[in-house]
Amino acid sequence: MAVSIKTPAEIERMRVAGRLAAEVLEMIAPHMEAGITTAELDRICHDYMVHVQHAIPAPLNYRGFPKSICTSINQVVCHGIPSAQRALKSGDIINMDITVIKDGFHGDTSMMFGIGKVAEHAERLMRIARECLYQAIALVRPGCRLGDIGHIIQQHAEGNYYSVVREYCGHGIGRQFHEDPQVLHYGQPGTGLVLEEGMVFTIEPMINAGKHHTRLKPDGWTVETRDGRLSAQWEHTVAVTATGVEVLTARLDENLP
């Protein structure tokens, strides 16, 4: 699949989808407290997307995924399945991954929440993971290469004694949930695809407190750190503009392009 260049009209539709995805995270934030189950979080988000936004939750039934959002707690790297048996506890850290489809286009974003009193080392991991994303976004412009993005993420994570997950990466996005290119979160500067105006993709670094190795649970979806240590992830959908970058999924509490 070739990397698609989105037209201004397509980017406007992706801007709408991205804003809706951000709004789901803004909406769910007050519910992120100890005692709520991840199945309840899924229900609240699903109902908001379908009945308020009149949008489609992209993960639901995507390649067989059974829920409308991903909830990845503590050592879960990504693709955690919401469950009525898993209530949030004080000290948990959780990634809420939201993707909506509106008028045929996708908006994909995720963020970390700390529940109750979170250990200082877990707060630090979440902060560094977010800095990895922001530093990568700041590089995006025509002429930048994907290797530059991967390198700055890897450099910041490893410089803070963390590791970068290798098996999962960012991706092109548009009418399809996952398009080319693959956006690795590690790499060498000056290598990889040269960015052009109109490209739209996600950057979503998964940063581990321990080693980068992962394992897939028997459910076929849930990815955990192999050593059982914490993982944190933040994600935005970005568009390459003529002069830089537009973050299509920026939340209102963020100071982003």
Span 140-152, pLDDT tens digits: 999 999 999 999 9
- For residues 228-248, average pLDDT: 98
pLDDT band at residue 245 using 50, 70 and 90 as cut-offs: very high
Full strand arrangement of the beta sheet holding 206-208: 163-164, 206-208, 231-233
Tokens of 104: 């045929």
CB 72 within 8 A of CB 80: yes
CA distance 81 to 92: 16
- For residue 197, the surrounding DSSP H or E stretch is none
Write down the pLDDT at residue 2. Answer: 85
Tokens of 128: 């560094």
Tell me the pLDDT tens digit for each residue of 172-215. 999 999 999 999 999 999 999 999 999 999 999 999 999 999 99
pLDDT in tens, 14-68: 999 999 999 999 999 999 999 999 999 999 999 999 999 999 999 999 999 999 9
Question: What per-residue confidence (pLDDT) applies to 203?
Answer: 98
Element (H, E) at 117: none
Residue 1, pLDDT > 80, answer no
Cα 33 to Cα 92, 103, 204, distances in angstroms? 10, 33, 24
Instruction: Answer for the pair 180, 2: CB distance below 8 angstroms, yes or no.
Output: yes
Q: Which residues contact 140 (CB under 8 A, 6 or more apart)?
A: 149, 195, 203, 238, 240, 244, 245
Q: How many CB atoms lie within 10 A of CB 39?
A: 17
Give the DSSP H/E element, type plus range, for residue 227.
none
Fold of 8-247: Creatine Amidinohydrolase (3.90.230)
